[in-house]
């Protein structure tokens, strides 16, 4: 029988189309198309014709443009590094976790710091009372850092540190801790995130304004290139962009544009591009859009090679995009949480098929609280099973040649490149970030996504479809914030009492002088390398807060403008194509708000706030957008408010309710504090409601403190809005 009977040709394609039309909804074969969040139309069928003219479909791994992977043999010789991101309250507890994880198959240490450390505050600072030891490890000095890495050989174990705002004292503490362990700087391997531009867009753990922050980045790239040749000086992160709501094309475009800006900064210091570019690394989020995530990672390598060619990089290592990846935290659900094990496995597979160099898999309980030892083991074993049992590692880029994947890779590249060109037309990513444009693009995407979930257009199993009638409680990890803070304060007092204060002050003064020089002269150059000077200060036992304060004297502390998008959330309800049961809430609450305004002479007014040092504002911004679209008057409090400041603003703005968004486990301290402050300032008629990551075992405590509504992850916004309105009406009598 002739094989030509089975070959693709125009006649066969026509026959397929006729067959597809018969079964397609409404007889429209285009109804089978899937439009991605990025605006790319994915067809149900791809053929050889779709890849016939693609320029990079037949390239090889390890060679330009590295679409198929940065290494020629990829996982066939060496699998990706299993690097679990973790930090728990104290350095002692975190060290115990790292050592146990390494003994059980972990292959690197990835450190999560608490928010006080991220924002450059020592644990005894009054602004961080509710943040110390929450959502990461508290680090105040090199003494904490030495405990953190006790019995972990830093000449053999690579260390990744997610740190941006307080990057100088934290990286300096790591260097000095290694020195006192007997490990020289040239032996250190690992990565410091050091990606400040994305902080101004999404995560908000910045300290200084953009321009001096770029000076810090340039100094770190310069210092590590000279003294730490095995260490990655920056990890350019798209992860937090996707977590904040960016689709895959936005995440890729903004991340690569950030990388381009950092390369410009290093070159402006007089560095040769090939002297540092080989140590730049990237960090992607990997969510539940399986095909898009694989295509994104392949397309990103293609585009980074193109960008670096534009800088005339000659060394092949300068052209390679090497990346760490982490499964999505945002895709995890509080409802039916064991489904998260499956979600994380699917996302891990996408990261592997996309060609990641290292991977963190999230624990199934992270939508509820910090991960337990039990859930962390499952997350780590997910990777071990993929590495050891599936034989996926035996084939290099198994998606190569797929009609669909090659086409989707090119479409993702084209979509992202168009955004990068738009950024360049604005003058680069620093300008795009400074204008607020980039942040608003991400927030609009986040609001649109949430509306699609709340309206039922996007299915989340166990949340808006196939819901359990009854949720069983699961064991969660709780951190005693007061105990941790008391211990840190005691250690700080001992350090300050035992050091040579005059020498410490002289080192801090030298750091301030160098920072002042950078402000007065060229922000790119300045007098003295800030990392070098920070290391000198930390050797003398200067603390994280003191080093940060020394820089703040010259640079100042950044204050972000509070903006919100409008109309995006409502569009998902107003297009007449909704499913699910929240549509009736949406329509009814608009009627109820209009009736409230008629009766009270004004619309219900709410203030959405973030207390403490938690800068993750996706949820707060989406809620503010949706409430405004429903008809509420909405105020946004600035980031990093204390309870006292929040209460004062709520009273001045004459709001009916304060909504606290919490993702960093500070609710047990900060929420009762805002209720107490409102009462203290004579405004206990203002109701307080809370949303975010809150373990159910904490609900009763919050209700007893006076909270009127708690809305965990997965709560449809129209449902929470209706309840808030009812609580306001009840408070008014």
Residues with catalytic roles: 85, 239-240, 610, 614, 616
SS (H, E, C) 284-353: EEECCCHHHHHHHHHHHHHHHHHHHHHCCCCCHHHHCCCEEEEECCCCCCCCCCCHHHHHHHHHHHHHHH
Tokens standing for residue 358 = 């290292």
On the 0-12 / 13-18 / 19+ scale of CB atoms within 10 A, 103 is exposed
Dist. CA 246–CA 235, nearest whole Å:
18
Q: Is the peptide bond before 60 cis (omega within 30 degrees of 0)?
A: no
Among 239, 142, 143, 223, residue whose Cα is nearest residue 188: 223
**Between the CA of residue 566 and those of 29, 176, 437, 445, 724, what are the distances in Å?**
35, 49, 14, 12, 20
- Give DSSP secondary structure letters for 127-152: GGTTTTTSSSB---SHHHHHHHTTT-
Adjacent-strand bridge partners of 359: 82, 325
Backbone φ and ψ for 607, nearest 5 degrees, come out as -120, 125
CB atoms within 10 A of CB 443: 26
Q: Is 14 exposed, middle or buried (0-12, 13-18, 19+ CB in 10 A)?
A: exposed
Cβ distance 40 to 415 under 8 Å? yes
- Strand 41-42 to 34-35 pairing: antiparallel
Residue 85 sits at the vertex; the CA angle it makes with 83 and 90, to the nearest 5 degrees, is 130
Whole-angstrom Cα distance, residue 674 to residue 686? 11
User: Which one, of 212, 232, 95, lies nearest residue 165 by Cα?
Assistant: 212
- Residues 542-571, buried b or exposed e (16+ Cβ, 10 A)? bbbbbbbbbbbebbebbebebebbeebbbe
Of the candidates 300, 264, 299, 309, which has an alpha carbon nearest to the alpha carbon of residue 281? 300
C-alpha distances (whole Å) from 280 to each of 250, 304, 399, 598, 683 are: 20, 11, 26, 59, 52
**How far, rounded to the nearest angstrom, does the alpha carbon of residue 399 sit from its chain's CA centroid?**
27
Contact 464, 456 (CB under 8 A): yes
* Cα 301 off chain centre by: 20
CA distance 135 to 643: 19
d(CA 357, CA 81): 6
């Amino acid at each position: 029988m002739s094989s030509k009977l089975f070959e693709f040709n125009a006649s066969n394609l026509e026959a397929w189309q006729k067959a597809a039309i018969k079964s397609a909804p409404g007889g429209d074969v285009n109804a089978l198309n899937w439009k991605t969040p990025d605006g790319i139309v994915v067809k149900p069928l791809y053929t050889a014709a779709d890849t016939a003219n693609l320029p990079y479909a037949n390239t090889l791994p390890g060679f330009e443009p590295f679409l198929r992977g940065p290494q020629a043999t990829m996982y066939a010789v060496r699998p990706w590094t299993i690097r679990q991101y973790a930090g728990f309250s104290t350095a002692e507890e975190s060290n115990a976790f790292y050592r146990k994880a390494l003994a059980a198959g972990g292959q690197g240490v990835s450190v999560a710091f608490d928010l006080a450390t991220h924002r450059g505050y020592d644990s005894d600072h009054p602004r961080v009372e509710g943040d110390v030891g929450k959502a990461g490890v508290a680090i105040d000095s090199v003494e904490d850092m030495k405990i953190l890495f006790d019995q972990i050989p830093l000449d053999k174990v690579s260390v990744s540190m997610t740190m941006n705002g307080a990057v100088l004292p934290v990286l300096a503490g790591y260097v000095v801790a290694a020195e006192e362990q007997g490990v020289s700087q040239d032996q250190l391997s690992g990565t410091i995130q050091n990606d400040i531009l994305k902080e101004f867009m999404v995560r908000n753990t910045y300290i200084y304004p953009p321009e001096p922050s770029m000076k810090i980045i340039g100094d770190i790239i310069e210092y590590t290139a000279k003294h730490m040749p095995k260490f990655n000086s920056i990890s350019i992160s798209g992860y937090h962009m996707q977590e904040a709501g960016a689709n895959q094309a936005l995440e890729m475009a903004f991340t690569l544009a950030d990388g381009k800006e950092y390369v410009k900064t290093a070159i402006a210091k007089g560095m040769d591009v090939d002297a540092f570019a080989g140590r730049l690394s990237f960090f992607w989020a990997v969510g539940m859009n399986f095909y898009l995530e694989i295509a994104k990672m392949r397309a990103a390598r293609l585009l980074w090679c193109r960008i670096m060619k534009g800088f005339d990089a000659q060394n092949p290592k300068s052209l390679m995009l090497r990346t760490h990846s982490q499964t999505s935290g945002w895709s995890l659900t509080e409802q039916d949480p064991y489904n998260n094990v499956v979600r994380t496995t699917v996302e891990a597979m996408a990261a592997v098929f996309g060609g990641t160099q290292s991977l963190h898999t999230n624990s199934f309980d992270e939508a509820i609280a910090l991960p337990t030892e039990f859930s962390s083991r499952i997350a780590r074993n997910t990777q071990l099973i993929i590495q050891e049992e599936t034989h996926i590692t035996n084939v290099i880029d198994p998606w190569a040649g797929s009609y669909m994947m090659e086409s989707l890779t090119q479409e993702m590249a084209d979509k992202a490149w168009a955004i990068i060109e738009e950024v360049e037309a604005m003058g680069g990513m620093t300008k795009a970030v400074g204008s607020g444009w980039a942040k608003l693009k991400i927030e609009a995407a986040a609001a649109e996504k949430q509306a699609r979930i709340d309206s039922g257009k996007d299915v989340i199993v166990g949340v808006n479809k196939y819901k359990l009638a009854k949720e069983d409680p699961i064991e969660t990890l709780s951190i005693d914030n007061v105990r941790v803070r008391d211990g840190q304060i005691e250690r700080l007092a001992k350090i300050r009492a035992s050091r040579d204060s005059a020498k410490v002050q002289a080192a801090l003064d030298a750091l301030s002088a160098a920072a002042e020089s950078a402000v007065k002269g060229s922000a790119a150059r300045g007098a003295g390398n800030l990392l070098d000077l920070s290391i000198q200060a930390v050797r003398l036992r200067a603390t994280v807060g003191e080093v940060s304060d020394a820089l703040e004297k010259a640079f100042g502390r950044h204050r972000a403008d509070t903006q919100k998008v409008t109309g995006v959330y409502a569009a998902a309800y107003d297009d007449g194509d909704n499913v699910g049961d929240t549509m009736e809430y949406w329509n009814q609450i608009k009627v109820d708000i209009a009736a409230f305004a008629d009766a009270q002479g004004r619309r219900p007014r709410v203030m959405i706030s973030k207390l403490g040092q938690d800068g993750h504002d996706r949820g707060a911004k989406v809620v503010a957008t949706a409430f405004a679209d429903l008809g509420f008057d909405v105020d946004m409090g600035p980031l990093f408010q204390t309870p006292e400041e929040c209460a004062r603003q709520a009273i001045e703005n004459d709001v009916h309710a304060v909504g606290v968004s919490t993702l960093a486990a500070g609710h047990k301290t900060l929420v009762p504090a805002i209720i107490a402050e409102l009462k203290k300032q004579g405004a206990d008629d203002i109701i307080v409601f809370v949303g975010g990551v809150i373990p159910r075992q904490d609900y009763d405590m919050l209700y007893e403190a006076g909270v009127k509504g708690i809305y965990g992850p997965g709560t449809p916004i129209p449902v929470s809005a209706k309840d808030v309105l009812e609580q306001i009406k009840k408070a008014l009598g």
